[in-house]
Structures are given as C-alpha cells and as structure tokens.
Amino acid sequence: MNQENEQVWLIASLFCLKSNWQELLSSGIQPFLCGLSENHQIDSFRVILNESRGENIRLSILAPQSLGGYLAGYTDSYFKQYFQDKKFQAQPGLNTEVERAIFMPFPENSIQYGLYAVAVDEDFVDLRYKAMPWVLTEGLSADEVDKDAIVTFGFYLHLSTLKALMIIDRNASQTITSYHQSIVADAQQNIKEEQLHKNIAENWHCLHQMAEDVFPLEHGNENVFPWLLRWEDTIISEFEKIPQTKDGITSGYVRISNLINSSLSLNKSDQILISCYMVNIIGINGPIDLWISLNNNS
C-alpha cells in the first residue's frame, strides 16, 4: 500500500474551562472541521468531551499519511492562534487538591498531543466518525456547556436513536425499554430512589417537551434540530447494513448508547439518570405513543 492510501490519526486535546466549551465548539472546532472537509476531503473525526488532567475536548483527525506533517502543523498553529485571539478566562489558581495530585493538569487555553489512543472501531463507522463529530459540535454550540446541558444532550440523542430504530422496527421501543429498565434495576442498591423520583418530577415538563421535539405530533415539524435529523438518518443508513432482528436492534442500540456515553464522558450516575428518563418517558401515553398513532394512520 502506498503512502497516499495509508491513513494516520492526529490526536490532540484542547484544554480550556468548560464554561468556554460552547465558544470553542462553535467558533473553533466547527469551522476547523469544515475547512478540512472542504479543502482536503477529510471527513473522519472524533470529538470527545473530557476532564482528565483538566477540562478539555479531545479532537482526533483521520487523514492520509501524506498530509500528516502538514495537518499537524496546521492544527497546532490554528488552535494556538485561536486561543491567543480568544483570551479565554482561566482558573485563577490551583486548589490544594489539584496541587497534591500525582499528575498535574495541563495549562488551560492550550493544545496538547498524544495523551490518549484512538480506539478504532469498525462498528457504525459513519455514525462514529462522520456524524457524531458534527452532531456534537452543532448540538452543544448554542448554549453554555455544563453538566445539565451534557445530560440533556445525551437524552436527546437517546430519544433520537429510539425514533430511528422505531422507524426500522415499530417494536423497538419494547426492547429498548427493557434495556434501560435493566440498567435502573441493576443500580437500585446504589442510587437514592427518592432523589431520582424528585429529579424526574422537577424536570417532567422539560422531558415531555424534549420528547415532543424528537417525536413531533404534526407533520412538518421534524426539523426542530437539524443535527438530530442527521443523527437519525445516519442510524437508519447504518442499520440497513445489518440484519433487522430483535437481537440486532438491541445490540445495535447498546453500541450506539455506549458511543453516546463515551463521547460525552457521561459517568455512571448520568447514565442511570438518562435510563430513568427513558423508562419514564416511553412508558406513558405521551408524545411517543401519539407519534406512533400518527404514523400508523398516515
């Protein structure tokens, strides 16, 4: 195989405070990826939220080996200039806990290299490397990125995945509900059930509205978020490549759920909370059931 056909991963980490992630995604990473796609036909990336050794966004780019040297230099100069121009606020000082840490955090507003390995997966390639980076940068670029925003975004993606699979198989909601019920059941001993119920009750109106966003009750309202439509279309396309059996739907959903969780770095508590949301929003006579009826009669 010649060098033009060989590919290499450029592995970078962009360190800045989480309060600056929304700006970094919208005015830094998104135009950067657009430029690579338009000028060099590079279309495979990973974008992962991370908090290891400081709040950072991991950016991995799969490029022809012949462009490796150029791309490394261009990426370095682009983001160094970006951070210099933006002058993002930095943490005023290290707290005692950080000062005593074995591994010191990396400087904020900096780009670092080679801090992790890309786990190359041949499963759902288009969803993983081509759709997810754009969905994440677009979906989280509108508002400040904090813990609640990340969990909300994860819930949207799980709902959207459910919808895509229900378009393929109307019975998918049963197997997906069972999957989330098993997660909640396994966690029963380690979670404060009263606090979970309180959380769901306090956020019920928002959860219901999010379900309506994904499962619109009127035709023509399907494009509330264009990035969700891209997510759904890519999932449907990916599932056309595998057998459409109950086991295929379930295992596929689990793998996509793992992709969402890893891309957003959702911890176990966040994953359990999303599972509780999914179980409760699916198990009512609400937007999802009404959407099914609407589509059955159309």
Tens digits of per-residue pLDDT, 258-297? 999 999 999 999 999 999 999 888 866 667 776 776 666 5
Collapsed DSSP state (helix, strand, coil) of residue 77: helix
Which pLDDT score, from 0 to 100, does residue 158 have? Answer: 97
58, containing H or E segment: strand 56-64
Measure Cα distances from 206 to 45, 212, 215, 233 in Å: 32, 10, 14, 25
Give which of 46, 36, 38 is closest to 67, Cα–Cα: 36
Which pLDDT score, from 0 to 100, does residue 204 have? Answer: 86
Listed in order, the ranges of the chain carrying CATH 3.30.70 are 7-113
The residue among 95 and 169 whose pLDDT is bigger is 169
Which pLDDT score, from 0 to 100, does residue 109 have? Answer: 96
Mean pLDDT of the region 149-171: 93
Contacts 24+ apart (CB under 8 A), 48-53: 48/262, 48/263, 48/265, 49/21, 49/136, 49/145, 49/150, 49/263, 49/264, 49/265, 50/13, 50/265, 51/18, 51/265, 52/115, 53/103, 53/104, 53/105, 53/106, 53/115
Collapsed DSSP state (helix, strand, coil) of residue 41: coil
| Predicted confidence (pLDDT) at residue 248 exceeds the cutoff of 60 | yes
Which pLDDT score, from 0 to 100, does residue 153 have? Answer: 97
Cα distance between the two ends of the chain: 52
Band (pLDDT 50/70/90 cuts) for residue 103 is low
The residue among 162 and 240 whose pLDDT is bigger is 162
Tokens coding 263? 């891309």
| Predicted confidence (pLDDT) at residue 218 exceeds the cutoff of 90 | no
Please name the amino acid found at residue 135.
V
Which pLDDT score, from 0 to 100, does residue 285 have? Answer: 63
Which pLDDT score, from 0 to 100, does residue 84 have? Answer: 96
Tokens coding 248? 């295929």
Q: Where are the alpha helices (DSSP H) in 21-170?
A: 21-23, 30-40, 68-86, 96-99, 125, 132-139, 147-168
Say how many residues make up the chain. 298
The residue among 101 and 44 whose pLDDT is bigger is 44
Q: Which residues pair with 250 in a beta bridge?
A: none
Report the CATH number of the 7-113 domain: 3.30.70
- The whole-model pTM stands at 0.89
Mean pLDDT of the region 120-139: 91
| Predicted confidence (pLDDT) at residue 241 exceeds the cutoff of 90 | no
Which pLDDT score, from 0 to 100, does residue 24 have? Answer: 98
Distance of CA 12 to the CA centre of its chain: 18
| Predicted confidence (pLDDT) at residue 49 exceeds the cutoff of 80 | yes
The Cα–Cα gap between 234 and 226 comes to 12
Mean pLDDT of the region 125-146: 94
The Cα–Cα gap between 129 and 30 comes to 14
**What are φ and ψ of residue 41, in 5° steps?**
55, 30
Which pLDDT score, from 0 to 100, does residue 191 have? Answer: 67
Which pLDDT score, from 0 to 100, does residue 2 have? Answer: 45
Which pLDDT score, from 0 to 100, does residue 17 have? Answer: 95
Q: Where are the alpha helices (DSSP H) in 244-286?
A: 246-264, 268-282
Mean pLDDT of the region 128-143: 94
CA dihedral 241, 129, 71, 138 (to 10 degrees): 130
Which pLDDT score, from 0 to 100, does residue 4 have? Answer: 53
Band (pLDDT 50/70/90 cuts) for residue 253 is very high
